[in-house]
Structure 1
Amino acid sequence: MDTTSLAEALHARTAAFAETVTGADPDARVPTCPDWPLRVLVGHIGQAHRWAADVVRSGPSPVPDPLDADPGAPATWADWLRQGAEDLAKTALDAGETPVWTFFGPQPARFWLRRMLHDTTIHHADAALTTGTAIEVAPDLATDAISEWLEMLSNPITASLRPDFAELCGTGQTLQLRPDQNQAWLVTRAPDGIRWARETKAADVTLAGPVQDLLLVLTRRRPAEDVTITGDRALADHWLAHTAA
């Protein structure tokens, strides 16, 4: 996805998130983020978009605490969320190919558009679970979200940011994610981290199903039983236990 497509997708996903939380109880507990009421989830999205825009403009700054975010009155949530997404999209588009700071070294500003887009998508699923509404993730968006998640997991820096991810190291065990359409992802647990490629071949365990379901299972927003698992179930359970987003 190019920068313009990412910006458009961020606008659309943020608007969908805003629609999901509009009129909902701000104190309702988010089942997949059990320490957060809905107000904090909303605050996190708007706060994260604004923080990422500031990073693009000015460089690194401490990651903010979602509990410190103030989304304002529920009646103003939609506008507040839209403004944060617009700020990030415009800032990233203005930056173009100029390298900016990221956790993984300098990269074009679209890194933050992509990161915030997929973070917003997963938290939209949290909001949908909280409000009892449905969510739809377009196949191309879900596909890119899975690839981005694997890119981060396979980067050596990630284990230093999230120690649990170091538990993904292995001795060559393989896990395949096979969507109903498009090519599969093959993940290998190597002694020094994970490797992945877009290929379909025999693996120790395979998770198969619609790509949206695979994304939501991988990020622990839906139970593993929502996809078809064949092979070493313990390997799948270990992976899911150490990769919660």
Structure 2
Amino acid sequence: MTSSRTPSGSRFSEPPFPEPLFADRLERIEDRSDALREAACSARPEARVPGCPDWSVHDLVAHVSQVQRFWAATVAAGPAARPPAEQAVRGAEPSADLLDWSARSTAVLLDALRAAGEEAGCWTWWADSGHPATAGAVARHQVLEAAMHAWDAQEAAGAEQPLPPHMALDAVDEFLHVGFGSMDGWPHAPERVALVSHEGPAWTLILDATGASAVRGGPGDGPEPGATLHGSAGDLLLALHRRYPLDGPALRMTGDADLIRQLVVWPPLG
């Protein structure tokens, strides 16, 4: 997936990227949703979630499950100009057995994605940015959602685990292209920020008054970035979601560190 905008003079040629299959992404949704529930079992329901401080673990599980049911209804509705009406999202209220209801919510999402197929069109909040509005794109985004919130639940339980590398690579790529790519104009001077993963893939965000364009390739593949963030894909993803400090030992910043800090606080996070 590449940005719909090709910045003038970028001189980037995007290198190959390890794109997972649709079936792989469905397995990852299931795996990370299971990890979320496993961590929730180890934590007190009322325990606070450091990554989402307004939520308890109970709130976190309910949120992910409701999101999964929403996207199941969205995919099942097919191409649409608007998201589904509230009454179209069935079973959206948690039952007495939260974890059982959560497991059924994940199953509802996976069933809807399988029934639709990867190329089926549907409403998405990112469609105006030019990125695919398909069941496949929803599956990709739901891997990111489940992975981040599984980690949140693990942190609340005091048992954080590294994010699986291949999953984290795809999630970083999705967040840079879709999350940042859907933002309005960059509110600072035009710049470039590179992210380099220990696993190999690298990216550059080109920031200007029109927003952010992500390209695959880091320092040496185009104009020199103003700053570069180095780390494992999992730690890069956690840093972009403000779960891991930029000055933590697992990350290394080169160039203008303030530019990276501006970037990380720019997008709103749910």
- Kindly provide the CA deviation profile for residues 62-92 of structure 1, in whole angstroms up to 9, marking residues without a partner as x: 689xxxx64344xx33332221111111111
Residue 255 of structure 2 aligns with an amino acid whose one-letter code is G
Check if 1:3 corresponds to 2:27. Answer: no
Deviations 1:183-229 (A, max 9, x none): 21111112211122111214211110111111101111111123111
> What is the CA distance between 1:98 and its match in structure 2?
2.2
**Aligned with residue 83 of structure 1, among 77, 83, 104:** 104
Is the helix fraction higher in 1 or 2? 1
Match of 1:186 among 204, 207, 210: 204
Identity over aligned residues, as a percent?
29
Give the 3-state SS of the residue equivalent to 1:177 in structure 2. Answer: strand
* More divergent stretch after superposition (101-110 vs 213-222): 101-110
Q: 2: distance between equivalents of 1:81 and 1:180?
A: 34
Q: 1:243 to 1:107 in 2, by over 3 A?
A: closer
Matched pairs, number = 231
Q: Superposition RMSD on alpha carbons, in Å?
A: 2.1
Q: Which runs of 4+ in 1 moved over 4 A?
A: none
Structure 1 residue 177 corresponds to structure 2 residue 201: no
The answer to whether 1:130 aligns with 2:156 is: yes
**2-side partners of 1:39 and 1:72: how far apart?**
12
Note the alpha carbon deviations across 1:90-119, whole angstroms, 9 max, x for none: 111111122111123372212222112211
CA separation in 2, counterparts of 1:63 and 1:169? 35
Deviation sequence 1:115-157 (CA, Å, 0-9, x none): 12211111112112211112232211101111111122343xx
1:236 aligns to 2:260 (yes or no): yes
**Pair 1:120-2:120 in alignment:** no
**Cα distance in 2 between the residues matched to 1:50 and 1:171:** 40
Query: Which residue number corresponds to residue 144 of structure 1?
Result: 170
Residue segments in structure 2 that go unaligned for 5+ positions in a row:
1-19
Cα distance change, pair 135–186 in 1 and its aligned pair in 2 (3 A): same
The residue type equivalent to 2:26 in the other structure is A
Of 179, 198, 201, 1:153 maps to: 179
Correspondence for 2:229: 207
3-state SS of paired residue (1:25): coil
56, 66, 72: which one pairs with 1:47? Answer: 66
Gapped runs of 5+ residues in structure 1? 160-165
**1:213-228 mapped onto 2 (5 Å cutoff):** 213-226=235-248, 227-228=251-252
How much does 1:170 deviate?
4.3
Structure 1 length-normalised TM: 0.86
Question: In structure 1, the residue corresponding to 2:194 is in which secondary structure?
Answer: strand
Paired residue type of 2:94: P
The answer to whether the Cα contact below 8 Å between 1:205 and 1:232 also exists between their aligned partners in 2 is: yes
Change (3 A) 1:62 1:118: farther
Q: CA deviation at 1:244?
A: 4.9
For residues 62 and 179 of structure 2, what CA distance do their matches in structure 1 show? 26
Aligned to 2:6: none
State the 1:29 CA deviation. 1.4
Quick one: distance in 1 between partners of 2:175 and 2:85? 22
Q: CA deviation at 1:22?
A: 0.7
Distance in 2 separating the partners of 1:61 and 1:234: 41
Does the 8 Å CA contact 1:22/1:77 hold for their aligned counterparts? Answer: no
Once the two structures are TM-superposed, the CA of residue 169 in structure 1 deviates from its matched residue by 4.6
TM-score by length of 2: 0.79
The amino acid of 1:116's aligned partner reads Q
**Superposed displacement of residue 243, structure 1:** 2.7
Q: Distance in 1 between matches of 2:179 and 2:28?
A: 23
SS of equivalent to 1:100:
coil
SS of residue matched to 2:84: coil
